[in-house]
């Protein structure tokens, strides 16, 4: 599979990823991909370590806009997760031998865990809206199924690429949802404290 490393970007199944392709080697890659099954692998590139993550997500090109000089804007959608077994080519772009990975079956009540996560999401959105004085609502497109919900939440953890990568590599839906519940609980508590402080300052009498 052709592989596209992206600095601190983690793609999840079912999540969109828009890309602007301008480097010559990746223009070659995308043109080859478009002539085939329109799929390639996205791997998080860690600048600090100078290497790509071992687990990534397959992306399918769902829309492509060709620009001058063979540059292009593409919209991709995350498909299956994979693990790189070995690199079979490095130039002009990486090509790897990969294996598909899935979550293992579990006896835990995933729907209960999913409900907890969704409730925490609602709390975070409500507190964020109150803090910013804006109307913010969760989109209607949030998945109902626990696995898809876990990917949706993980894909929306902005600015936390290493945490996202850890969630992508998990092969246990319950563990992923539990970790997301921990993250959302911390976020909710932080927002609640800021909201309470804002209310105190707002209600405090001003000195004349």
Q: What is the pLDDT along the chain (208 residues), one digit of tens a residue?
A: 999 999 999 999 999 999 999 999 999 999 999 999 999 999 999 888 889 999 999 999 999 999 988 899 999 999 999 999 999 999 999 999 999 999 999 999 999 999 999 999 999 999 988 887 777 778 888 999 999 999 999 999 988 999 999 999 999 999 999 999 999 999 999 999 988 876 666 655 554 4
Q: What is the pLDDT of residue 202?
A: 66
Mind giving me the DSSP string for 177-206? HHHHHHHHHHHHHHHHHHHHHHHHHHHSPP
For the whole model, what pTM was predicted?
0.89
Structure tokens at 187: 């976020």
In angstroms, rounded to a whole number, what is the distance separating the alpha carbons of residues 48 and 35? Answer: 34
Assign 3-class secondary structure to 47-97.
Answer: CCCCEECCEEEEEEEEEEEECHHHCEEEEEEEEEEEEEEEEEECCCCCEEE
List the domains of the chain with CATH numbers: 3-101 (2.30.130.40), 110-203 (no CATH)
Q: What is the pLDDT of residue 201?
A: 67
Q: What is the pLDDT of residue 204?
A: 55
In angstroms, rounded to a whole number, what is the distance separating the alpha carbons of residues 115 and 185? Answer: 14
Closest by CA to 74, choosing from 85, 63, 83, 84, is 63
Query: With contact defined as beta carbons under 8 Å apart, do 29 and 4 qualify?
Result: yes
Q: What is the pLDDT of residue 208?
A: 43
């Amino acid at each position: 599979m052709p592989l596209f490393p992206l600095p601190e970007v983690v793609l999840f199944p079912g999540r969109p990823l828009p890309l602007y392709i301008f480097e010559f080697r990746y223009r070659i890659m995308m043109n080859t991909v478009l002539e085939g099954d329109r799929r390639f692998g996205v791997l998080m590139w860690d600048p600090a370590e100078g290497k790509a993550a071992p687990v990534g997500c397959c992306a399918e090109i769902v829309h492509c806009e060709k620009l001058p000089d063979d540059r292009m804007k593409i919209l991709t959608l995350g498909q299956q997760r994979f693990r790189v077994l070995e690199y079979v080519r490095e130039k002009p772009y990486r090509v790897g031998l990969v294996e598909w990975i899935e979550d293992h079956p579990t006896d835990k009540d995933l729907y209960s865990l999913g409900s907890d996560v969704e409730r925490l999401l609602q709390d975070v959105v409500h507190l964020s809206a109150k803090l910013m004085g804006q109307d913010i609502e969760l989109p209607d497109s949030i998945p109902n199924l626990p696995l898809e919900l876990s990917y949706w939440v993980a894909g929306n953890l902005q600015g936390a690429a290493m945490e996202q990568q850890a969630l992508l590599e998990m092969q246990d839906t319950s563990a992923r949802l539990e970790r997301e519940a921990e993250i959302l609980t911390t976020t909710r508590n932080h927002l609640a404290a800021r909201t309470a402080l804002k209310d105190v300052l707002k209600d405090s009498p001003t000195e004349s």
